[in-house]
Amino acid sequence: MRNFLAFIRRFRVLLLFALLQGIALSLYFTFLSFPRSQYMTTTSTLSGSFFEWKHGVTQFFALEENNNSLQKENALLKTQTIESLFRLDNGLVKVNDTLHKVQYEFIPAKVINSTHTKRNNFFTLNIGSEQGIKRNMGVYSSNGVVGVIHFSGPKYSIVKSCLTEKVNIAVMIESTGEHGFLEWDGKDSRRGTLTGISNDSKVVKWSKVVTRGAAGFFPAGIAVGKVEKATVVEGMPLWNVTILFSENYRTVQRVYVIKNLLKDEQDDAESHIPADVVQ
């Protein structure tokens, strides 16, 4: 108590000044509207900035969960689009009536490991046979085709990407219907080659190249890239068409695995094609 009184006695002038200053400021903000409004505005601005920062931090940590949720919603919506439905007769029908049934399902996945600088490149996905993943299922992203399932373990899958020597995905030039196969020469991860296009056909620069849907790995119409240039194959009546890929395989992270519910039926039907026709 003695020390406290000594402290008060020693700093009495400073303490008296602080008390009077507090009273003066209180009266100033109480009776004058402009300073009071400025004070309230400043306080509100600081509080708003704090809560905005807090919201941003919260959103950042929730971003992964939100992305996963959106990816699942996208997969569900894709099964309801016309490209995922199989027509049961040749009449004009509505998308939602009983003349259609779903042909494709889309299973969301994340790329957890990948390569893009080798001659043959692969992706590792965080889903496997426990989620229904099988060999030869198509894989694509929101930007375009990614590759084909090469191996499926219980919890992980390996994707043979478009950056492989023998990817051989059936593709076509959307505007003309001219079709061939996608190949990669191992040089540039941003560019592939469309082979099998007759040089009787007119190939227009920047024409969109999409999946043909022939083998049942992909629905028709999924983006592959755009025509960058076409050169004549020496000694053959064919174009060598260079494609600028729509997907950047160095940065792809979220993909969808395509499950064709009618693939077995298609394979069974095509197994009855005579051997001399296949050759």
Give per-residue pLDDT as tens, 3-53. Answer: 666 666 776 777 777 777 777 666 655 555 445 445 444 544 454 455 455
Same domain for 46 and 132, yes or no, is: no
Would you say residue 80 lies in a domain?
no
Whether residue 146 sits in one domain with residue 47: no
One-letter amino acid identity for 79?
Answer: T
Residues 209 and 117 in one domain: yes
How does the average pLDDT of the chain come out, rounded? 78
Residue 173 · residue 209 · CB < 8 Å = yes
Helices (H), the chain: 2-10, 12-31, 33-78, 263-270, 275-278
**Total domains in the fold of the chain:** 2
Same domain as 110, residue 53: no
159 or 63: which leads in pLDDT: 159
Contacts of 265 (CB under 8 A, 6+ apart): none
Query: How many other C-beta atoms are found inside a 10 Å radius of the C-beta of residue 196?
Result: 15
What CATH number should be reported for the domain holding residue 113? Answer: 2.40.10.340
**pLDDT recorded at residue 139:** 96
Considering the domain boundaries, does residue 84 fall inside one?
Answer: no
- How deeply is 243 buried, as exposed, middle or buried, from its count of CB atoms within 10 A (0-12, 13-18, 19+)? buried
Encode pLDDT of 230-263 as tens digits: 999 888 999 999 999 999 999 999 999 999 888 7
**Residue found under tokens 């082979």:** 195
Q: Which among 236, 136, 147, 247 has a CA at the least distance from the CA of 195?
A: 236
| Crossing angle for the helix pair 33-78 and 12-31, to the nearest 10 degrees | 70
Structural domain span for residue 209: 104-260
Evaluate if residue 129 carries a pLDDT over 90: yes
Q: Hey, what are 232's tokens?
A: 């004549």
Distance CA 134, CA 248 (A): 24
Backbone dihedral region for residue 98 (phi beyond 0: left; psi -120 to 50: alpha; all else: beta): alpha
Amino acid at 212: R
Where residue 228 falls among pLDDT bands split at 50, 70, 90?
very high
Supply the pLDDT for residue 42: 52
Res. 58: pLDDT tops 90: no
Judge whether 88 lies within some domain: no
**Would you give the distance in Å from CA 3 to the centre of its chain?**
70
Residue 98 counted as domain residue: no
Q: How far apart are CA 108 and CA 117, in angstroms?
A: 25
pLDDT value at residue 63: 55
Extract the tokens encoding 155: 């919890």
Q: Are residues 16 and 147 in the same domain?
A: no
Q: What is the pTM of this model?
A: 0.66
Are residue 111 and residue 231 in the same domain, yes or no? yes
- 35 and 139: one domain? no
Task: Give backbone dihedrals phi and psi of 202, rounded to 5 degrees, phi first.
Answer: -90, 120
Quick one: what percent of the chain has pLDDT higher than 90? 47
Q: Does residue 78 fall inside a structural domain?
A: no
CA distance 214 to 242: 21
22-26, 99-103, 216-220, range with the lowest pLDDT: 99-103
User: Are residues 244 and 126 both part of a single domain?
Assistant: yes
Please report, to the nearest 10 degrees, the dihedral formed by the alpha carbons of residues 124, 156, 83, 104 taken in order. Answer: 160
The rounded percent of the chain whose pLDDT value lies above 70 is 67
- Whether 270 is in a domain gets the answer no
**Does any domain span residue 236?**
yes
Residue 249 lies in a domain: yes
